[in-house]
Amino acid sequence: MNLRRIAFGAAGAAGVVAVLEVISRTGLVDPTALPPASVVLREAGKLAVDSEFLVDIGATLKAWFGGLALSVLVAVPLGVLLGSVPFLGTAARALVELLRPIPSVALIPLAIILFASPTQMKMSLIFYACLWPILINTLYALRDVDPVAKESLRSFGFGTPAVLWRVSLPSAAPFIATGIRIAASVALIVVISTELLAGGFNGVGIYLADTQSGGGQTDLMLAGAVWAGVLGLLANVALLAVERVAFRWQTARVEGVA
Amino acid sequence: MSAVHEGTPVTAAPRQGAGVKVLKGLLGFAARAWLVVVALVLWEVVTRAVNETYFTPPTKIVTTLHELWFSGPASHLFLTEDAVDDFSTSLAHLFVGWAAAGAVGVVVGAAIGRSRTMNDLFDPVLQFLRAVPPPTLVPFFIMVFQLGATMQIVTIAFGVVWPVLLNTADGVRTVDPLQLETARVFGMGPMRRLLTIVLPAAAPKIFAGLRVALSFALILMVISELFGSTAGIGSELIGAQRTFELPRMWAGIVMLGILGFLFNAVFMLLERRLLAWHAGAQRLAS
């Protein structure tokens, strides 16, 4: 069954590549606009061993992980605090709902003015963008914890920290993890847009901007986009795998809310 | 005497109930809003006290917002010329891109969700395409389509088609087989089954995808405008950055937040109306 899926998937991918190749080679669309798929893949292969591009990937990954880690470290404890103090939680929810709709990329021009260092700028924007999905998922997950489970523990004489640690957090964890996965994909969008717009020294976005200004070779641009896609895919697969392994006992619920 | 005493509470009770209700409502509102008010006042006081140039005080942002876009004549609904230009350009791109992506997403998603072969063939390719962050393709789109409306619409459409497509495929895949079998027994053709059973059953998931896509479309609209355009809220932002007009920039940011909030609110309302009949919708919406 799994073999069938792999075989079909490979066939589908090969088919799409072949169609793109034919469209470009026969001149159905302008080959300078849409270069043949084989050329794009060859360039992508060359990029994989290009030390300069690897430095770019490293810089993007660093900002991505750094910003994401920072927002997890802030958003989860903040969500726990706000979620366990009802008086603060209610008030915070209104503030969050007002700030959340502001598209994080709208802050790029502001960040260009505020921060001199490109890494600092990227990390702050990622931090802002990731804060909301994680904070909101933490808040709502803590609100949905089974009250019977909490009360049972409490009636056995456990204090508030123990209830939080033994019931609330484990039951909220899968939902928080979903928030982190959403935040990770938003963060990749933010980091690449920031690099493209604000410039800097290293980053996948810088590579793309350089190829654009250097005459604009579409095959090189698409090769860069291929690697960006691979990064996004790997991050998503990795986070999903972590969720699946860590929360095996709760897969049913994760499926329900995702 | 006793009758009066007994009578008073009876007639007073509902009046008091209404009063308590209003009071409770006010208290509830205060419990929700106080932090927002505190934050705004703090922002105002601190920025005024230190005479901060980067963080414009909220009152200044509101006046700039008003001057920039909402101080026009009453005949134009108080919109200024800039507002008509900026909003119509931005919103037209956003909705055209979103609608195109929605149409393609539902059609392709339904095809993939209905057929296991199609799903197995194209799922890896689609998962990969979805993972490509849309801004990486902006330089490519600029090369191919030049700066302008086409490039912006293509950027938006490419970015937002995935949530619609994948949600539609998922919704269509999980339609109750019993309903489909029943329809087949009654001799319904495949097209009619699709339109009357499959798509309505998948509607809550399709709508959820469209809602995510709409908020994504706003982000991509801003990105595509930041790369260079002559009108639009995003170009207003980048213009303000170049001329270092912080109040104008903050006004743009707030305006985008308001739009994001409005889109979400209106869409939720629409979704609730349109899907009121759907039992599964309530569970998904909550």
Q: What b/e string do you get for A35-51 counting C-beta neighbours within 10 Å, with b at 16 or more? A: bbbebbbebbeebeeee
B25 Ramachandran zone, left/alpha/beta (phi>0; psi -120 to 50): alpha
For the record, the structure tokens of A239 come out as: 């986070």
| CA–CA distance, A197 with B139 (Å, rounded to integer) | 11
Q: What b/e string do you get for A79-103 counting C-beta neighbours within 10 Å, with b at 16 or more? A: bbebbeeeeebbbbbbbbeeebbbb
Handedness of CA A219, A221, A227, A229 (dihedral sign): negative
Residues of B in contact with A253 (CB under 8 A): none
* pLDDT above 90 coverage of chain A, percent: 13
Give the model's pLDDT for residue B217: 92
In this structure, are residues B169 and B119 in contact, taking their beta carbons and an 8 Å threshold? yes
Give the model's pLDDT for residue B12: 46
pLDDT digit string (tens) for A155-173? 888 888 888 888 888 888 8
Q: How many residues does chain B have?
A: 286
B278 Ramachandran zone, left/alpha/beta (phi>0; psi -120 to 50): beta
Contact B261 A196 (CB under 8 A): no
Nearest CB to A95 within list B36, B54, B240: B36
Contact A101 B260 (CB under 8 A): yes
Nearest CB to A90 within list B32, B131, B136: B32
Contact A103 B121 (CB under 8 A): no
Residues of B in contact with A196 (CB under 8 A): 135, 138-139, 227
Indicate whether A231 pLDDT > 80: yes
Q: Taking the CA of residue B98 as centre, how many other CA atoms within 13 Å lie in the half-sphere pointing to its CB?
A: 21
Chain A residue with minimal CA distance to B242? A109
In this structure, are residues B72 and B65 in contact, taking their beta carbons and an 8 Å threshold? no
Q: How many residues does chain A have?
A: 258
| CA–CA distance, A163 with A201 (Å, rounded to integer) | 48
Residues of A in contact with B226 (CB under 8 A): 105, 108-109, 193, 197
Mutate to test the interface with B, among A3, A98, A110 (most CBs of B within 10 A): A110
Nearest CB to A91 within list B31, B143, B223: B31
Indicate whether A8 pLDDT > 90: no
Mutate to test the interface with B, among A193, A222, A226, A231 (most CBs of B within 10 A): A193
Indicate whether A82 pLDDT > 60: yes
Residues sharing a CB contact under 8 Å with residue B219, sequence separation 6 or more, in sequence order: A103, A104, A105, A189, B159
| CA distance to partner chain B, nearest, from residue A211 (Å) | 9
| CA–CA distance, B68 with B66 (Å, rounded to integer) | 6
Nearest CB to B125 within list A16, A103, A106: A16
| CA distance to partner chain A, nearest, from residue B188 (Å) | 31
Mutate to test the interface with A, among B128, B136, B238 (most CBs of A within 10 A): B136
pLDDT digit string (tens) for A27-54? 777 777 788 888 888 888 888 888 888 8
Chain B residue with minimal CA distance to A86? B31
Give the model's pLDDT for residue B158: 92
Place of tokens 């006081």: B45
Place of tokens 């849309």: B134
Nearest CB to B133 within list A4, A104, A189: A189
Nearest CB to B136 within list A99, A110, A204: A204
In this structure, are residues A94 and B33 in contact, taking their beta carbons and an 8 Å threshold? yes
User: What is the residue-level pLDDT of chain B in tens, covering all 286 positions?
Assistant: 344 444 444 444 455 577 788 888 888 888 888 888 888 888 888 888 887 778 888 888 888 888 878 777 777 777 777 777 888 888 999 999 999 999 999 999 999 988 888 888 888 889 889 889 888 888 888 888 888 888 899 999 999 999 999 999 988 888 888 888 888 888 888 888 888 888 888 888 899 899 889 988 999 999 888 887 777 888 888 888 888 888 888 988 998 999 988 998 899 888 888 888 776 555 554 4
DSSP string, A29-93: S-TTTS--HHHHHHHHHHHHT-HHHHHHHHHHHHHHHHHHHHHHHHHHHHHHHHHH-HHHHHHHH
Chain A residue with minimal CA distance to B252? A106
Mutate to test the interface with B, among A105, A144, A181 (most CBs of B within 10 A): A105
Residues of A in contact with B158 (CB under 8 A): none
Nearest CB to A216 within list B35, B143, B259: B143
Nearest CB to B121 within list A11, A114, A233: A11
| CA–CA distance, B279 with A112 (Å, rounded to integer) | 48
Residues of A in contact with B54 (CB under 8 A): 110, 113-114
Contact A91 B32 (CB under 8 A): yes
For the record, the structure tokens of A105 come out as: 């990329």
A52-to-A32, A59, A85, B273 alpha-carbon distances in Å: 25, 11, 50, 54
CB-based burial of residue B27 (10 Å sphere; 0-12 exposed, 13-18 middle, 19+ buried)? exposed
A194-to-A187, A202, A206, B18 alpha-carbon distances in Å: 10, 12, 9, 53
Mutate to test the interface with A, among B140, B146, B225, B262 (most CBs of A within 10 A): B140
Residues of A in contact with B139 (CB under 8 A): 196, 208-209, 211-212, 216, 221
Residues sharing a CB contact under 8 Å with residue A149, sequence separation 6 or more, in sequence order: A167, A171
Residues of A in contact with B240 (CB under 8 A): 109
Which H or E run includes A150? helix A147-155
| CA–CA distance, B232 with B60 (Å, rounded to integer) | 22
Give the model's pLDDT for residue B8: 43
Please report which confidence band the pLDDT of residue A257 belongs to, taking 50, 70 and 90 as the band edges. very low
| CA–CA distance, B225 with B148 (Å, rounded to integer) | 9
| CA distance to partner chain A, nearest, from residue B13 (Å) | 30
Distance from first CA to last CA of chain A, Å, rounded? 25
Contact A101 B54 (CB under 8 A): no
The CA-based dihedral angle spanning residues B191, B192, B196, B201, taken in that order and rounded to the nearest 10 degrees: -40
